[in-house]
Amino acid sequence: MIRHIVLLRFRPEITVAEKSAIYAELESLRELVPGFLGMSYGANASPEGLHQGYTEGFTMDFADEGARDAYLVHPAHKAAGGRMVATLEGGRDGLVVFDMVV
């Protein structure tokens, strides 16, 4: 299984409702991408203070690399991702993506 981890720095004016809509749009891709198993998202809850400004994040689980790769090139992912990047501090500089095999 592949866990796709994304850390986010939203611009301060982005509302909770806007963030929720972004997450819901990304989660809806489960219906379009075979092997997209699930998604979790939320605000940083760590007491360590090591978040480096990344205050929100999400994870997506994929059955395998093929499912993850299909998600990455899917037109609906590109559209949702573009809308998300537009809400981040510095655009693409406002996110970190890390994938790992679990």
CATH says 2-101 is which class? alpha beta
CA distances from 49 to 8, 11, 14, 82 (A): 15, 19, 22, 29
**pLDDT tens digits for range 12-61:** 999 999 999 999 999 999 999 999 999 999 999 999 999 999 999 999 99
Residue 61 pLDDT: 98
CA-based nearest residue to 87, from 3, 13, 10: 10
Residue 14 pLDDT: 97
Residue 95 pLDDT: 97
Q: What is the pTM of this model?
A: 0.93
